Amino acid sequence: MVSLQNMYKQVFKRKYTYMSYMLAFFIPICVFLFLYWLTGTEPFGNNTIASGDMINQYLALISYFRSNVFHIGNLIYSYQVSLGDNFFSVWTYYLMSPFNLLAIFFKTEQMPLFFELNTLFDAGLASLTMSILLRNSSCINYKTNYDENIRGLYAAIFSTAYALMSFIFAYKESIFWYNAIALMPLVILGFERLIKGKGPTLYWVMLSVTILVNYYIGIMIVLFIFIISVFFIIYKLLNRSHCKDVFLLGLKIFSMTVLSLMISSIALLPSILGQEGVAKEPFNFKFDYIYQPFHLMAGLFTRSHFQDSPLIYTCLLVTLLVFTYFRITSIKQKDKNLLLAFLVVLFISTWLNTFYMMWHGFTMPNGYINREAFCVAFTLIVIGYSTLGLIYKQQNIYFKTPLWMLIITLLVLVQVVKAFSGLEVLMNILGLAIGSILIALVQRGCKPFWVAICVFLFVLIDISYSNYPMIDSQAKASPKRSAYRAVVQKTSSTISKIKKKDNDFYRIGSSFELNPNDPLQFNYAGISSYVSQQPTEYTDYMSALGYYQKHGWTRWTRYNNGSTLFMDSFLGVKYILSATDSEFSKQLDKTNNPLKADNSSQPFQYKTLFLKGEGNINVYKNRYFFPLAFAVSKGAQNLSLNYDTAADPFKIQNKLWTKMFKTSSLLYSNQSYQKNVQDNRATFSFTTNHSGLAYIYVPTQKWVMWPSSLKLSCNGKNITTLFGNNEGENGIVCLGRFDKGTMLKVALEPTDSSISLSQLKGIPNLMPYIDVENDKLLGEVRSKRIVRDNVMIKRISGPNMTFETDKDFKGGNILVTVPYDSGWRSEVDGEKTVIGKGLGHFIMIGVSAGKHEIKLSYSVKGLKTAVFLSVIGFVLAIISSIISSRSNRKKIMHTIATKSSSE
């Protein structure tokens, strides 16, 4: 019987090296599956992989992509993002990975499972590409002494550490980053081939593909390559290379990188231009700390407690080997100093905010700190692999394992910054001791196969132990599979019923939301939206109109149970979903989305039941809804709104109303009230001065993230809960419809009885705005102005809209409730016309009297230029590769001829 070791040697001969790649691919997948089994994540339990922004954004985005992958126009411009927005920049940032095409084989409610499979594939791919790099890089393997039949196993060990570094577990919900990180080793291998004169093809192909897959990570890799290039040039100069050769090498690196950027500009340029309207922190030279220096050291050990520690941990073996490198006496001091300088520059770039901002497009990222840390972890792994190869079977090499130095560092961290618990200190010490023993065994060369197996097991146990708490906490806080599927199925079914009964263009609001991206998730035009590319102007505008009030860094908008009847009608909200079933509410709660909304009461503005959906979801119809396009007065072009959480939104809506229809009749009448504070309860008593819908708005401080939660009631009837968290309504709230002369007593009291009214967070003075809306006037004006001057929708498809006016149209401005964007172009009866901005935000076109056809078309800003640059870059890159290939062939032929003549 052939022994296991002999079988291994037979399998891992040169012609079977692909088996080591298979090992590298499948081991990380198995580790992930093992951790999923431990944490009860599907398919082993009811937990899901979803967490963080995957719940808030990515599940919805991939669902929308799945529904529209065969409707390319909807991937260019979408009415499911806010009131309409450029979707191309969203597509290029989140959804460019070819793996996402497989989403069409999954149902919407199965998207968490799809992302889990995507994660498993990326883990395998990242390990595979790293293994390819470690096995084939002449720079990394310079002076390494691995046996050829064992090199593949060690490559698999360190590539597994790359695929399962702590960065991945911490940010695994950002699956679109992982797609690009998995390709990084091939970019580095291509870079090495470029500087070694082996041709530029692999470099420009892989760098271009990586940027296309996720340009954000791709640009970080470009910056990482820049740092490597600078130090490589310094290395060449220190080794007395000719200055001309060094200059030409730098020029080669620069030119091929630029060509790669040109090729990927089809995604890069429109995406950058598409985010011009997003508020960002400006670049500065403050040089503040991103994290404390001690936290950096803590990040090199397992289970560091600091949330802001750089995510550079891979495994204790790598930590040991990095420090071991600098203690090997046979390595030239010059090489040690250069590597140390490289690490210092790398760490400083992640430590001081001025350099840190460079990694993130010269601004500060919103959440998810140290996003560039994967580059540091990659560097440490490469150093670890090379160091172990240097001492492999080299008993004549002298070095001191830095065990005691690391243990002392660990104890200092515990004493100074309380980085670890007592048990974790012991586990780190035990791990360092075992790692040191294994390094010593590798150096001695005794039973190399079995030692390699032990090293592999040690690394796998270390990775599992280190990352289990993180993945377990994520699993516990994840959406429960059964609940998520139930909510998605019932909501999807209800939306489908609406669309079957009414296939016109309209918007939908909902008193409950799985997340702010429900319109994307369920593929309907709505109000809510949350994507990083969303212009700040839009979210500010919607908040100014009384919808969701943004506090602090908040970047999303949502229906928030509606604003006013007029606002909903003006924006074309025709149907409103309301779920009063307690079982549905429980299922929604189990989706564990911090950004979900669950207002159990229906909006009081709407009484007309349109249909009953699944899970007792009622659909109400707004009889006052406006069409997408309608005639407005000339005054509509002279309006600007400034968002202020302390401002009166009813004054803003009155201003909008009078500008829109050039009328002196106000839609909202302010209610004077008497305020009474008693027993930690504030009441506001008044008699309505007009018949109609009564509303309340509580002013807050804009930069206070979560104002104190308040219970709202009217005449003893509970209305809703304000503020407190994302589920609490925080904009305009409808109190109900009342006749003139009705006495009302509105009460506000803290949800937390231990907080007094004087201690309310973010609410400096409890003085709400209370107004009554004249819905009768709204109905009359709508009938006379909107219905009479009806502008008919002929066609809407992605970036194209067509409208018609009839022969009775009196002429004037036509407002389209789609946000103004310089990318829109208009034609009236085939002739180009100018598009203006109406009511401070929307598309407005001047049209003469009579029958006309109005066409609107949207083009992504910079896309044509980007396509041109991509084509030119691709052609030049191909020519460069051909020239390089021919040059290398000539060199080979010349070498052969020289050898033949000498013989």
Look at residue 869 and tell me whether its pLDDT is greater than 50. Answer: yes
Specify the higher pLDDT residue, 603 or 161.
Answer: 161
Q: Is there a single domain that holds both residue 693 and residue 582?
A: yes
Q: Is there a single domain that holds both residue 883 and residue 902?
A: yes
Q: Is there a single domain that holds both residue 880 and residue 832?
A: no
DSSP strands (E only) in 648-790: 668-670, 674-678, 681-687, 692-697, 710-714, 717-722, 733-738, 743-750, 769-773
Q: Is there a single domain that holds both residue 842 and residue 787?
A: yes
pLDDT digits (tens, 9 = 90+) for 841-854: 999 999 999 999 99
User: What percentage of the chain has pLDDT greater than the value 70?
Assistant: 96
Instruction: Give mean pLDDT, residues 341-361.
Output: 90
List, edge to edge, every strand of the sheet that includes 824-828: 792-797, 800-805, 852-858, 824-828, 831-833
Instruction: Give mean pLDDT, residues 707-734.
Output: 87
Q: What is the mean pLDDT of the chain?
A: 90
Q: Say which residues have a Cβ less than 8 Å from residue 797's Cβ, sequence separation at least 6.
A: 71, 73, 74
Domain endpoint, select from 715, 746, 774: 774
Handedness of CA 499, 500, 505, 509 (dihedral sign): negative
Which structure tokens are listed for 151?
């090199």
Query: pTM of the prediction?
Result: 0.92
Q: Has residue 603 been placed in a domain?
A: yes
pLDDT digits (tens, 9 = 90+) for 427-472: 999 999 999 999 999 999 888 999 999 999 999 999 999 999 999 9
Going by pLDDT thresholds of 50, 70 and 90, the confidence category of residue 361 is confident
Q: Is there a single domain that holds both residue 723 and residue 839?
A: no
Q: Is there a single domain that holds both residue 244 and residue 271?
A: yes
pLDDT for 140: 95
Specify the higher pLDDT residue, 702 or 626.
Answer: 626
Hey, is 25 helix, strand or coil? helix
pLDDT digits (tens, 9 = 90+) for 282-338: 888 888 888 888 888 888 888 876 666 788 999 999 999 999 999 898 899 999 999
The tally of domains found in the chain comes to: 3
pLDDT digits (tens, 9 = 90+) for 782-805: 888 887 777 899 999 999 999 999
Q: Is there a single domain that holds both residue 673 and residue 590?
A: yes
pLDDT for 281: 78
Q: Do 173 and 111 touch, CB atoms closer than 8 A?
A: no
* Cα–Cα distance, 8 to 830 (Å, whole number): 73
Core vs surface per residue 751-773: b (16+ CB within 10 A) or e: eeeebebeebbbbeebebbbbbb
Hey, is 539 helix, strand or coil? helix
Alpha helix (H) ranges present in 95-142? 111-136
Q: Has residue 14 been placed in a domain?
A: no
pLDDT for 394: 87
Alpha helix (H) ranges present in 239-286? 243-263, 265-274
Phi/psi for 542 (5° steps) reads -65, -35
Q: Do 646 and 703 touch, CB atoms closer than 8 A?
A: no
Q: Which domain covers residue 811, as residue numbers?
A: 782-858
Instruction: Give mean pLDDT, residues 542-555.
Output: 87
Instruction: Give mean pLDDT, residues 17-46.
Output: 94
Q: Has residue 805 been placed in a domain?
A: yes
Could you tell me if residue 230 is left (phi over 0), alpha (psi between -120 and 50 degrees) or otherwise beta? alpha
Look at residue 1 and tell me whether its pLDDT is greater than 50. Answer: no
Look at residue 14 and tell me whether its pLDDT is greater than 60. Answer: no
pLDDT for 4: 59
pLDDT digits (tens, 9 = 90+) for 682-709: 999 999 999 999 999 999 988 887 888 8
Reduced DSSP (H G I as helix, E B as strand, rest coil) percent helix, strand, coil of the chain, to 5? 50, 15, 35
Which structure tokens are listed for 733?
């709230």
Q: Do 613 and 489 touch, CB atoms closer than 8 A?
A: no
Instruction: Give mean pLDDT, residues 16-34.
Output: 91
Domain endpoint, select from 742, 757, 774: 774
Kindly give the interhelix angle for 184-195 and 373-391, rounded to the nearest 10 degrees.
60
Instruction: Give mean pLDDT, residues 610-631.
Output: 90
Q: Is there a single domain that holds both residue 796 and residue 765?
A: no
Q: Has residue 601 been placed in a domain?
A: yes
Look at residue 157 and tell me whether its pLDDT is greater than 80. Answer: yes
Q: Is there a single domain that holds both residue 582 and residue 723?
A: yes
The β-bridge relationship of strands 717-722 and 824-828 is unpaired
Could you tell me if residue 840 is left (phi over 0), alpha (psi between -120 and 50 degrees) or otherwise beta? left
Q: Has residue 578 been placed in a domain?
A: yes
pLDDT for 9: 56
pLDDT for 498: 95
Domain endpoint, select from 774, 796, 816: 774
pLDDT for 679: 80
* Cα–Cα distance, 113 to 646 (Å, whole number): 44
* Cα–Cα distance, 254 to 338 (Å, whole number): 22
* Cα–Cα distance, 741 to 129 (Å, whole number): 75
Q: Is there a single domain that holds both residue 726 and residue 745?
A: yes
Q: Is there a single domain that holds both residue 792 and residue 747?
A: no
Which structure tokens are listed for 572?
């074309």
Q: Is there a single domain that holds both residue 602 and residue 725?
A: yes
* Cα–Cα distance, 293 to 273 (Å, whole number): 36
The β-bridge relationship of strands 743-750 and 681-687 is antiparallel
pLDDT digits (tens, 9 = 90+) for 806-843: 888 888 899 999 999 999 999 999 999 999 999 999 99
Going by pLDDT thresholds of 50, 70 and 90, the confidence category of residue 678 is confident
Q: Has residue 393 been placed in a domain?
A: no
pLDDT for 814: 93
Q: Has residue 745 been placed in a domain?
A: yes
Give the number of other Cβ atoms within 10 Å of residue 459's Cβ: 25
From residue 808, how far is each of 266, 717, 790, 795, 851 by CA, in Å? Answer: 45, 49, 10, 21, 7
pLDDT for 343: 95
Q: What is the amino acid identity at position 796? A: I
Q: Has residue 167 been placed in a domain?
A: no
CA atoms within 13 A on the CB side of 453: 7
Look at residue 504 and tell me whether its pLDDT is greater than 80. Answer: yes
